[in-house]
Amino acid sequence: MAEYNLDDVKKAAIASRVEYRGRKVQRDIANLGYDLNDAIDC
């Protein structure tokens, strides 16, 4: 399983450099009613 540095993740979110990878993630996000901005805000 991949590991990511939390500081790098925070910097990417602040810069809106976030993307969803994989169908399951996209389906789950859609089912929850979230959009990319919701993920960035979290």
Q: What is the pLDDT of residues 19-39, one digit of tens each?
A: 888 889 889 888 999 988 888
Tell me, what's the pLDDT at 40?
Answer: 85
Task: Give the pTM.
Answer: 0.60
Tell me, what's the pLDDT at 30?
Answer: 87
- The 3-class SS string of 1-42 reads CCCCCHHHHHHHHHCCCCCCCCHHHHHHHHHHCCCHHHHHHC
* Res. 8 pLDDT band, cuts 50 70 90: very high
